[in-house]
Amino acid sequence: TMFLVGLSGGIASGKSTVVAVLRELGCAVIDADVIAREVVQPHFKAYRQIVHYFGTEILLENGEINREALGNIIFSHPGKRQLLNSITHPEIQKEMLKQILKYFVLGYRYVILDIPLLFETNRLTKFMKCTVLVYCDPPTQLSRLMKRNGLSRAEAEARIASQLPLDEKRKLASHVIDNSRDRESTRRQVLRLHACLEDSLDFLWARLAAGTVVAGLGGLVYLLLRHFMS
């Protein structure tokens, strides 16, 4: 078991601000959204399956998937949304696992998995040592979304309503970063969280064991090379 930290939030709650601070601190952050965009690029397995089931009408002129067109299809058809998830989620999880292993070998104390729907799906939380929610109060969330996306109040409320409310997610999270105020307040909270996670010695034995194995293999290779060269 790796030392994994699940990070989530809500639309316009300010998760990107928190991630930026974590990256500044040198933390290992795996962005599920970025991976989701990568695995549906042409020549990937998920791309071929999506085109097979949804047709070529969802493609742009350059052959890439038109995410807006695909989104319009699945938004009003839960069955098709489940089909898309069944295609993409295994590929996303495989790529996340590759990156987790990379950071494990590099000796990071913990790895942050930035997963927007972490609490909605609830399938990955059991693998997390702790979970972090980027929170802001509902009026602030609504105001930020309207301003950021140029939406009417009704449009913004509809988008927020499509997600699990932040107050519900707050009950499920191990840690909460309250991003309702200014950036400096948020930054201080992230620094405290980082210090707390860095102080944890959980799974240190696993890294030491892995290091011992690697060192042993390296020594064996060195001895074999000396034998054959002599």
Q: 104: exposed, middle or buried (C-beta count within 10 Å: 0-12, 13-18, 19+)? A: middle
Task: Please list the residues that pair with 113 across neighbouring strands.
Answer: 6, 30
pLDDT digits (tens, 9 = 90+) for 130-145: 999 999 999 999 999 9
Kindly state the tokens that stand for 184: 């400096």
Cα separation, 129 vs 108, whole angstroms? 15
pLDDT digits (tens, 9 = 90+) for 68-86: 899 888 877 889 989 999 9
CA neighbor of 185 nearest in space, from 136, 141, 133: 136
Give the ranges where the chain is alpha helix by DSSP (H). Answer: 15-24, 32-38, 45-54, 67-75, 78-105, 118-121, 138-149, 153-161, 166-172, 183-199, 204-229
Kindly state the tokens that stand for 117: 């729907």
The helix (H) or strand (E) run that includes residue 41 is none
Judge whether 50 and 40 are in contact, CB under 8 Å: yes
DSSP SS3 for 111: strand
What superfamily would CATH give domain 1-28+112-211? P-loop containing nucleotide triphosphate hydrolases (3.40.50.300)
Kindly state the tokens that stand for 8: 């989530």
Residue 212 or 14, more confident: 14
Average pLDDT over residues 105-132: 91
Please state, rounded to an integer, the average pLDDT across all residues of the chain: 86
Residue 226: pLDDT over 90:
no
Extents of the domains making up the chain? 1-28+112-211, 36-107
